[in-house]
């Protein structure tokens, strides 16, 4: 059985979204999420939301195990286009299409992982003993406790910085005398 999620009317070009969708098709849920997290494409964030939604649908609506999920189908369809006009030469205009996408992602359980999990759950229910762990060491065989570490030395206090002394501003340089115009020289 497949659980799916659809995001409709996403304001991204289908061609650009398909580049990212192709990266995750057929991968395990964990691996696909990691790929989307580190893909430097604006579409990766939207696709990740759709993937998380499909995984949540599988868990809650179809009682699937999240650890056994993989991306079974992922595709992008084109949606409606917003048409805008761009002025051209000699009074003409060109059409700009702002495209939209419909993103669909389906997730399913891998059969071998599903069987393994069913077997491990069945063993625990039947009361079979689980793998034995090593016995705890006896008190006499226990290793002596390590020496306590000496306390860390306190750091010396920071010296206060001296206050900035007011430096006198340098005296303004006298302006050079203005040259007299020729008409002024004759007087």
User: pLDDT under 50 in the chain at which residues?
Assistant: none
pLDDT value of residue 179:
73
pLDDT of res. 111: 84
Is the whole model's pTM more than 0.85, yes or no? no
Distance separating alpha carbons of residues 114 and 117, to the nearest angstrom? 5
Which class in CATH covers the domain with range 3-126?
alpha beta
Written in H, E and C, the secondary structure of the chain is CCEEEEEEEECCCHHHHHHHHHHHCCCEHHHHHHHHHCCCCHHHHHHHHHHHHHHHHHHHHHCCCHHHEEEEEEEEEECCCEEEEEECHHHCEEEEEECCEEEEEEEEECHHHHHHHHHHHHHHHHCCCCCCCCCCCCCCCCCCCCCCCCCCCCCCCCCCCCCCCCCCCCCCCCCCCCCCCHHHHCC
The string of pLDDT tens digits covering residues 77-109 is 999 999 999 999 999 999 999 999 999 999 999
Q: Are 47 and 20 in contact (CB under 8 A)?
A: yes
| The pLDDT of residue 181 | 66
């Amino acid at each position: 059985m497949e659980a799916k999620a659809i995001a409709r009317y996403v304001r991204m070009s289908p061609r650009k979204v398909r580049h990212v969708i192709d990266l995750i098709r057929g991968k395990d849920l964990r691996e696909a999420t990691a790929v989307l997290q580190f893909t430097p494409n604006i579409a990766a964030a939207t696709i990740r939301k759709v993937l998380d939604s499909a995984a949540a649908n599988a868990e809650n609506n179809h009682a699937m195990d999240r650890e056994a999920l993989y991306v079974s189908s992922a595709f992008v369809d084109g949606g409606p286009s917003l048409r805008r006009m761009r002025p051209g030469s000699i009074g003409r205009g060109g059409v700009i299409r702002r495209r939209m996408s419909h993103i669909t992602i389906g997730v399913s359980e891998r059969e071998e992982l599903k069987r393994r999990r069913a077997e491990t759950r069945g063993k625990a229910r039947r009361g079979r003993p689980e793998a034995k762990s090593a016995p705890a060491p006896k008190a006499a065989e226990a290793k002596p406790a390590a020496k306590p570490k000496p306390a860390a030395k306190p750091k010396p206090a920071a010296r206060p910085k001296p206050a900035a002394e007011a430096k006198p501003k340098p005296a303004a340089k006298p302006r050079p005398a203005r040259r007299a115009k020729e008409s002024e020289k004759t007087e």
